[in-house]
Copies of this chain bind each other. A is one copy, B any other.
Amino acid sequence: MVTINDVANAAGVAPSTVSYVISGKRSISPKTRRLVEDSIRKLGYHPHAGARALASSKTNVLALVVPLRTDLNVAVVMEFVASAVTAARAHDHDLLLLTKDEGPAALQRVASSAIADALMVMDVETADPRVPMLLALDLPVVLIGVPDHPAGLSCVDLDFTAAASACVAHLAELGHRSIALIGPSPAVYRRGTSYATRFLRGFDEAAKSRDIRAASRSCAHSYEAVSACLDDLLATDPGLTGLVVHNEAVLPGLLSDLRHRGLRVPEDISVIAVCPDSMAEQHVVSLTNVAIPAEEVGTQAVEMTMRRLAGHTTPEVRLLGPRLTRRESTASPRS
């Protein structure tokens, strides 16, 4: 293994000088700097992460807590993770993956073992049991999602309330008077998952303020569940003309089932989805959607984290505005 001493010897300087060349924390003459940098390159020197962490109490590692359930949107989670790790690398940090399954104790462990410098937490619930622990941790923490009492924690997410509102507005402006929300599986609501709750609230409020009939159903992603859900909705209100789908997993099944029933999209029923654009474009009838900006959220989460690490201490809550793209799946209802 190549150490800082080897580099120092090769360059004919003291180890501390090498350290200062790398960190830039003291001025170095151009000559010495070049000498040292050449030696570093020649020897292929990389500082030992453990030693560095020990001496500086910085690990250059960000921990990310992800949900590993399959009832969540895997594609979105993946996209988020991807952009987070890329953004982290851009700041010379690595990403450590933790699972939500490990519970709050894992957060403790990471914090007190000095495994990571900061935590990013996905799949936040409205009354998340991890929040009090996170507050006590005195590590920078960024939540993806917004709990009921985020006091002192940074949060970033799509503004799901506004997203729901945008969906309702779009349908209302097309002239729909009776719409329904097909949401995530019951388990997601039961956990009080932040985004599901916020979307539902936005949906109900927007519908009420526009005086539109609005039903909402939770729906597992099996074909049977989708079918039963539609049965239910159509029986309850045969005049239903618009569907807001906040559950990407059911989209294929839902569209198949609608056709099966002889309901054409958008002639007989409009569908608007909350899903990544790539998914919206993938269906026979391309879907009007509100995009889930997972990539943007991931990048923002890392940026906020880095800002906290740089000493920016005030926590911020950042809600990204929704972007609705009109495609083929929504139209005015036939009168």
Contact = CB atoms under 8 A, between A and B. Distances in A.
Contact of A49 (B53, B79, B97, B256): B53
Contacts of A51: 50, 54
A78 interface: yes
A41 interface: no
A9 interface: no
A115 B1 CA distance: 13
A74 B279 CA distance: 12
A49 B253 CA distance: 47
B99 A96 contact: no
A108 B43 CA distance: 13
Listed residue (A252, A253, A255, A260) with the most chain B CB atoms within 10 angstroms of its CB: A252
Interface string A275-294: 00010011110100000000
Given A68-B86, A89-B102, A50 B44 contact: no
A309 interface: no
A277 to B, nearest CB: 11
B223 A283 contact: yes
Contacts of A108: 44, 46
A94 interface: yes
Interface string A76-106: 0111011001100100001111110110000
A112 interface: yes
A93 to B, nearest CB: 11
B283 A253 contact: yes
A178 to B, nearest CB: 26
Interface string A37-81: 000000011111111111000010100100010100011011101
A43 to B, nearest CB: 10
Nearest to A257: B284
Contacts of A70: 79, 278
A184 to B, nearest CB: 15
Contact of A96 (B1, B96, B114, B223): B96
Nearest to A253: B282
Nearest to A56: B50
A25 interface: no
A114 B50 CA distance: 7
Nearest to A63: B94
A72 to B, nearest CB: 10
A266 to B, nearest CB: 16
Nearest to A54: B50
A48 to B, nearest CB: 5
23 contacts: A1-B112, A1-B114, A46-B113, A47-B113, A48-B53, A48-B54, A48-B114, A49-B59, A49-B113, A50-B50, A50-B51, A50-B59, A68-B82, A68-B85, A75-B75, A85-B98, A94-B98, A96-B97, A97-B97, A223-B286, A252-B252, A252-B255, A256-B284
Interface of A: 1-2, 44-54, 59, 61, 64, 68, 70, 74-75, 77-79, 81-82, 85-86, 89, 94-99, 101-102, 108-109, 112-115, 221-223, 249, 251-253, 255-257, 259-260, 278, 281-284, 286
**Nearest 8 pairs of A and B residues by beta carbon:** A50-B53, A252-B252, A68-B82, A46-B112, A50-B54, A46-B113, A50-B50, A256-B284
